[in-house]
Chain A
């Protein structure tokens, strides 16, 4: 089973994201900020990280280069998932090594589409 780490300081967002990802066959873990996410990734790298931008302690954009420096840290697919919805944030995120970018609000269709593009999900028949 593919694994996902949902990193967001909002419990509601984590819950919605978990429901969608579980519906698409992912086993999910959650983290409330970049620091927690980093600790989780040091133990075990997931296949997918859904990453919020603005979080206390450590933001998503601070977390990303630290993730990529871990041994094998290049392997997880990282999808930013944030209310930041302007081109400069998108460029910054992709430049920092994110694989995809979702502007909140999101729904199942959007997430599913990105998973297919990233090869994490087979195309629906």
Chain B
């Protein structure tokens, strides 16, 4: 690939989704953008680049951006954030929000919705403990296709076997041919919409918990900082932020600090020292 083509294409991706590609990753552009080029009857990436130089076609740029994202996810990914929701976060929230009886969660970069739906299942399992409580989940992703998939709540046989205990499959899913759909009670707790984390979040309200996992890794440090600081503004003063296993706030922003006892969990720097610092009880069924 010509250097100027690589620079044009990777520049567009960086600007639109935050994705940072080094020249060694040029092969990724080749393999993922070739199908997009073909869709527009272009022979290769050189023609794609030429087309973009002559005329910016919004739909094509969108397709390119979506083609480059990694949408890997699974139910109860990493397990701990879900154990902690049950054992650390909810006990605190139950006291702190006793009057309102409402929990608001943001699953940012939700991909096909497994994280949001894992929480809804957990929520239903906990229902007896929190009578009258309401859970509201906002799931957002850059990709229109992922948002659509999340809304449908339909998963392949392969997907429902990744991280999902069989009892939960039996309880919360119905079979539709060779696919599985999560039930309406779970879907009713979630609202999915398209959102680019690089842009203004708009009037999203305030969240008690933000899950922003396995997306910052694709961004460069200034972009990570920008997203984290924007999130600090929509998190409740005693809210919780979850990042993925390979992500951190350290060196990026002082708006958040890690909770030492619980890896992956962050709170606002202004939050009380003891917030969420109790170790999670041993994984319970």
Interface of A with B (CB < 8 Å)? 85-87, 90-91, 94, 100-103, 106, 109-110, 113, 116-117, 123
* A123 touching B162 in the complex, CB below 8 Å, given contacts A85-B178, A94-B170: no
Closest to B158 in A: A110
Q: Which residues of A contact B161 (CB under 8 A)?
A: 102-103, 106, 110, 113
Q: How far is the CB of B39 from chain A (nearest CB, A)?
A: 30
Q: Which residues of B22-48 are within 8 A (CB) of A?
A: none
Q: Which residues of B146-160 are within 8 A (CB) of A?
A: 157-158
Q: Which residues of A contact B167 (CB under 8 A)?
A: 94
Q: Which residues of B contact A116 (CB under 8 A)?
A: 79
3 smallest CB-CB distances across A and B, nearest first, come from A101-B166, A110-B161, A87-B175
Closest to B166 in A: A101
Q: How far is the CB of A49 from chain B (nearest CB, A)?
A: 15
B163 contacts A113, CB within 8 Å? Answer: yes
Q: Which residues of A contact B162 (CB under 8 A)?
A: 109-110, 113
Q: How far is the CB of B177 from chain A (nearest CB, A)?
A: 10
Q: How far is the CB of A107 from chain B (nearest CB, A)?
A: 8
Q: Which residues of A contact B166 (CB under 8 A)?
A: 90, 94, 100-101
Give the interface residue-count category, chain B: 10 to 19
A122 and B178 CA atoms in complex are apart in Å by: 31
Tell me whether chain B's interface is mostly helix, strand or loop, or mixed: mixed
A103 contacts B79, CB within 8 Å? Answer: no
Complex partner residue of B169 from A90, A106, A109, CB under 8 angstroms: A90
B165 contacts A91, CB within 8 Å? Answer: no
A85 contacts B169, CB within 8 Å? Answer: no
Q: Which residues of B contact A94 (CB under 8 A)?
A: 166-167, 170
Complex partner residue of B170 from A90, A102, A103, A123, CB under 8 angstroms: A90
A-B CB contact pairs (8 Å), 30 listed? A85-B157, A86-B175, A87-B170, A87-B174, A87-B175, A90-B166, A90-B169, A90-B170, A94-B166, A94-B167, A94-B170, A100-B165, A100-B166, A101-B166, A102-B161, A103-B157, A103-B161, A106-B161, A109-B162, A110-B158, A110-B161, A110-B162, A113-B74, A113-B161, A113-B162, A113-B163, A116-B79, A117-B165, A123-B79, A123-B80
A106 and B170 CA atoms in complex are apart in Å by: 19
CB contacts between A and B, total, < 8 Å? 32
Closest to A109 in B: B162
**Residue of B162, B174, B178 contacting most chain A CB atoms (<10 Å):** B162
A110 and B74 CA atoms in complex are apart in Å by: 11
A106 and B157 CA atoms in complex are apart in Å by: 10
A86 and B167 CA atoms in complex are apart in Å by: 14
Q: How far is the CB of A96 from chain B (nearest CB, A)?
A: 13
Q: Which residues of A contact B79 (CB under 8 A)?
A: 116, 123
A62 and B163 CA atoms in complex are apart in Å by: 28
B178 contacts A91, CB within 8 Å? Answer: no
Q: Which residues of B contact A90 (CB under 8 A)?
A: 166, 169-170
Q: Which residues of A contact B165 (CB under 8 A)?
A: 100, 117
Q: How far is the CB of A122 from chain B (nearest CB, A)?
A: 11
Q: How far is the CB of A89 from chain B (nearest CB, A)?
A: 11
A111 and B282 CA atoms in complex are apart in Å by: 22
Q: Which residues of B contact A123 (CB under 8 A)?
A: 79-80
B175 contacts A91, CB within 8 Å? Answer: no
Q: Which residues of B contact A100 (CB under 8 A)?
A: 165-166
**Residue of A86, A94, A113, A116 contacting most chain B CB atoms (<10 Å):** A113
Q: How far is the CB of A56 from chain B (nearest CB, A)?
A: 26
Closest to A88 in B: B175
Q: How far is the CB of B176 from chain A (nearest CB, A)?
A: 11
